[in-house]
Protein backbone atom coordinates (compact mmCIF):
# COMPACT_ATOMS: atom_id res chain seq x y z
CA UNK A 1 0.00 0.00 0.00
CA UNK A 2 0.97 3.35 -0.50
CA UNK A 3 1.98 5.66 2.13
CA UNK A 4 -0.43 8.52 2.26
CA UNK A 5 1.96 10.78 3.99
CA UNK A 6 4.35 10.64 1.16
CA UNK A 7 4.36 13.74 -1.00
CA UNK A 8 4.46 13.64 -4.71
CA UNK A 9 7.77 14.45 -6.22
CA UNK A 10 7.92 18.05 -7.41
CA UNK A 11 10.64 20.04 -8.93
CA UNK A 12 12.09 22.81 -6.88
CA UNK A 13 10.98 26.28 -7.95
CA UNK A 14 13.81 28.38 -9.19
CA UNK A 15 13.66 32.01 -8.42
CA UNK A 16 15.41 34.30 -10.85
CA UNK A 17 17.17 36.92 -8.98
CA UNK A 18 16.55 40.49 -10.01
CA UNK A 19 20.26 41.16 -10.28
CA UNK A 20 20.61 38.63 -13.14
CA UNK A 21 17.72 40.16 -15.13
CA UNK A 22 19.25 43.62 -14.70
CA UNK A 23 22.60 42.29 -15.95
CA UNK A 24 20.88 40.80 -19.02
CA UNK A 25 19.16 44.13 -19.75
CA UNK A 26 22.47 45.99 -19.35
CA UNK A 27 24.19 43.59 -21.75
CA UNK A 28 21.50 44.24 -24.36
CA UNK A 29 21.86 48.00 -23.89
CA UNK A 30 25.63 47.76 -24.28
CA UNK A 31 25.32 45.58 -27.39
CA UNK A 32 22.79 48.01 -28.86
CA UNK A 33 25.04 51.03 -28.24
CA UNK A 34 28.11 49.23 -29.63
CA UNK A 35 26.09 48.24 -32.72
CA UNK A 36 25.05 51.87 -33.23
CA UNK A 37 28.69 53.02 -33.04
CA UNK A 38 29.76 50.34 -35.52
CA UNK A 39 27.02 51.35 -37.99
CA UNK A 40 27.87 55.03 -37.52
CA UNK A 41 31.55 54.28 -38.15
CA UNK A 42 30.70 52.41 -41.37
CA UNK A 43 28.55 55.32 -42.59
CA UNK A 44 31.33 57.83 -41.86
CA UNK A 45 33.90 55.65 -43.63
CA UNK A 46 31.68 55.38 -46.73
CA UNK A 47 31.16 59.14 -46.68
CA UNK A 48 34.89 59.85 -46.75
CA UNK A 49 35.57 57.18 -49.38
CA UNK A 50 32.81 58.44 -51.66
CA UNK A 51 33.81 62.05 -51.09
CA UNK A 52 37.39 61.33 -52.14
CA UNK A 53 36.15 59.49 -55.25
CA UNK A 54 33.94 62.46 -56.17
CA UNK A 55 36.91 64.84 -55.74
CA UNK A 56 39.04 62.62 -57.97
CA UNK A 57 36.34 62.64 -60.67
CA UNK A 58 35.96 66.42 -60.41
CA UNK A 59 39.73 66.86 -60.79
CA UNK A 60 39.72 64.64 -63.89
CA UNK A 61 36.80 66.57 -65.39
CA UNK A 62 38.51 69.89 -64.65
CA UNK A 63 41.64 68.66 -66.42
CA UNK A 64 39.56 67.63 -69.46
CA UNK A 65 37.87 71.00 -69.93
CA UNK A 66 38.91 72.47 -73.25
CA UNK A 67 39.38 76.02 -72.08
CA UNK A 68 42.40 77.85 -73.38
CA UNK A 69 45.06 78.35 -70.71
CA UNK A 70 47.01 81.55 -71.17
CA UNK A 71 50.44 82.90 -70.40
CA UNK A 72 51.31 86.53 -69.81
CA UNK A 73 54.38 88.06 -71.38
CA UNK A 74 55.56 91.64 -71.26
CA UNK A 75 55.55 93.96 -74.23
CA UNK A 76 59.11 95.30 -74.30
CA UNK A 77 58.48 97.88 -77.03
CA UNK A 78 59.29 100.71 -74.60
CA UNK A 79 61.33 100.46 -71.45
CA UNK A 80 59.34 102.97 -69.37
CA UNK A 81 56.06 101.05 -69.07
CA UNK A 82 55.32 97.44 -69.78
CA UNK A 83 51.90 96.31 -71.01
CA UNK A 84 51.01 92.75 -70.09
CA UNK A 85 50.04 90.70 -73.12
CA UNK A 86 48.27 87.37 -72.97
CA UNK A 87 49.34 84.58 -75.31
CA UNK A 88 46.76 81.88 -75.88
CA UNK A 89 48.10 78.35 -75.68
CA UNK A 90 46.40 75.01 -75.91
CA UNK A 91 47.17 71.95 -73.81
CA UNK A 92 48.44 70.17 -76.93
CA UNK A 93 51.05 72.78 -77.82
CA UNK A 94 54.24 73.64 -76.05
CA UNK A 95 54.07 76.05 -73.11
CA UNK A 96 56.46 78.55 -74.68
CA UNK A 97 55.35 79.92 -78.03
CA UNK A 98 57.77 80.18 -80.92
CA UNK A 99 59.69 83.37 -81.45
CA UNK A 100 57.56 84.27 -84.47
CA UNK A 101 54.37 83.92 -82.37
CA UNK A 102 55.82 86.19 -79.69
CA UNK A 103 56.87 88.75 -82.31
CA UNK A 104 53.44 88.54 -83.92
CA UNK A 105 51.70 89.10 -80.59
CA UNK A 106 53.98 92.04 -79.79
CA UNK A 107 53.09 93.60 -83.15
CA UNK A 108 49.37 92.99 -82.60
CA UNK A 109 49.58 94.43 -79.08
CA UNK A 110 51.32 97.53 -80.42
CA UNK A 111 48.51 97.97 -82.97
CA UNK A 112 45.78 97.64 -80.31
CA UNK A 113 47.64 99.73 -77.69
CA UNK A 114 49.88 102.07 -79.74
CA UNK A 115 50.64 104.38 -76.77
CA UNK A 116 51.66 101.37 -74.63
CA UNK A 117 49.28 102.53 -71.90
CA UNK A 118 50.01 100.56 -68.71
CA UNK A 119 46.32 100.77 -67.73
CA UNK A 120 45.33 98.52 -70.62
CA UNK A 121 45.54 94.74 -70.73
CA UNK A 122 45.46 93.09 -74.15
CA UNK A 123 44.47 89.46 -74.56
CA UNK A 124 45.12 87.84 -77.94
CA UNK A 125 42.45 85.14 -78.36
CA UNK A 126 42.96 83.96 -81.93
CA UNK A 127 45.28 84.51 -84.87
CA UNK A 128 44.18 83.21 -88.28
CA UNK A 129 46.61 84.12 -91.04
CA UNK A 130 46.69 87.92 -91.30
CA UNK A 131 43.77 88.38 -88.92
CA UNK A 132 43.66 88.49 -85.12
CA UNK A 133 40.93 88.73 -82.51
CA UNK A 134 41.08 89.40 -78.80
CA UNK A 135 39.97 91.35 -75.76
CA UNK A 136 41.03 94.67 -74.30
CA UNK A 137 40.51 95.40 -70.59
CA UNK A 138 41.10 98.61 -68.71
CA UNK A 139 42.49 98.26 -65.19
CA UNK A 140 39.86 100.72 -63.92
CA UNK A 141 37.16 98.40 -65.30
CA UNK A 142 35.43 97.75 -68.57
CA UNK A 143 36.47 95.98 -71.68
CA UNK A 144 35.77 95.30 -75.32
CA UNK A 145 36.80 93.06 -78.19
CA UNK A 146 39.09 94.04 -81.01
CA UNK A 147 40.02 92.82 -84.49
CA UNK A 148 43.29 93.54 -86.27
CA UNK A 149 44.29 92.92 -89.87
CA UNK A 150 47.81 92.67 -91.27
CA UNK A 151 48.04 95.07 -94.23
CA UNK A 152 51.36 95.53 -96.07
CA UNK A 153 53.13 93.56 -93.31
CA UNK A 154 51.80 95.88 -90.56
CA UNK A 155 49.06 95.01 -88.08
CA UNK A 156 46.21 97.52 -88.18
CA UNK A 157 43.35 97.68 -85.69
CA UNK A 158 40.10 97.79 -87.68
CA UNK A 159 37.53 97.29 -84.90
CA UNK A 160 37.18 97.80 -81.15
CA UNK A 161 33.82 97.63 -79.42
CA UNK A 162 31.24 95.72 -77.47
CA UNK A 163 28.76 95.38 -80.35
CA UNK A 164 29.07 93.30 -83.51
CA UNK A 165 31.55 94.47 -86.12
CA UNK A 166 30.17 96.29 -89.16
CA UNK A 167 29.66 94.04 -92.19
CA UNK A 168 31.23 96.82 -94.31
CA UNK A 169 34.53 96.38 -92.41
CA UNK A 170 34.26 92.57 -92.69
CA UNK A 171 33.78 92.85 -96.47
CA UNK A 172 36.44 95.56 -96.91
CA UNK A 173 39.16 93.47 -95.23
CA UNK A 174 37.72 90.05 -96.13
CA UNK A 175 37.81 89.00 -92.46
CA UNK A 176 37.25 85.24 -92.10
CA UNK A 177 34.29 83.96 -90.06
CA UNK A 178 36.68 82.33 -87.52
CA UNK A 179 37.63 85.84 -86.34
CA UNK A 180 34.20 87.36 -85.75
CA UNK A 181 30.90 85.91 -84.55
CA UNK A 182 28.47 88.17 -86.37
CA UNK A 183 28.37 91.46 -88.23
CA UNK A 184 25.69 94.09 -88.69
How are strands ordered across the β-sheet holding 154-161? Answer: 70-75, 83-88, 120-128, 131-138, 143-151, 154-161
Q: How far apart are CA 92 and CA 177, in angstroms?
A: 24
Provide the 10 A C-beta neighbour count for residue 134: 21
**Residue-number span of the structural domain to which 75 is assigned:** 70-173
pLDDT at 65 over 70: no
Mean pLDDT of the region 93-98: 50
Number of domains the chain is built from: 2
pLDDT at 69 over 60: no
Measured CA angle at 104 (ends 101, 110), to 5 deg = 140
pLDDT at 167 over 80: yes
pTM: 0.47
Domain shared by 109 and 47, yes or no: no
> Is 87 inside any structural domain?
yes
Residue 10 pLDDT? 63
> Is 29 inside any structural domain?
yes
Domain shared by 81 and 55, yes or no: no
Work out the pLDDT band at 144, boundaries 50, 70, 90.
very high
pLDDT at 55 over 90: no
Domain shared by 35 and 109, yes or no: no
DSSP state of 136: E
Q: How far apart are CA 128 and CA 124, in angstroms?
A: 11
Amino acid sequence: MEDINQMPETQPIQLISTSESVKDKNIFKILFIVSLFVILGIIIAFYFILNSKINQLNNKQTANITSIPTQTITNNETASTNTPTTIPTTAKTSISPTLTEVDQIKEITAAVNPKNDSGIIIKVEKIVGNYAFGEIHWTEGGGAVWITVKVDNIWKQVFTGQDAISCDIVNQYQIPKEIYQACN
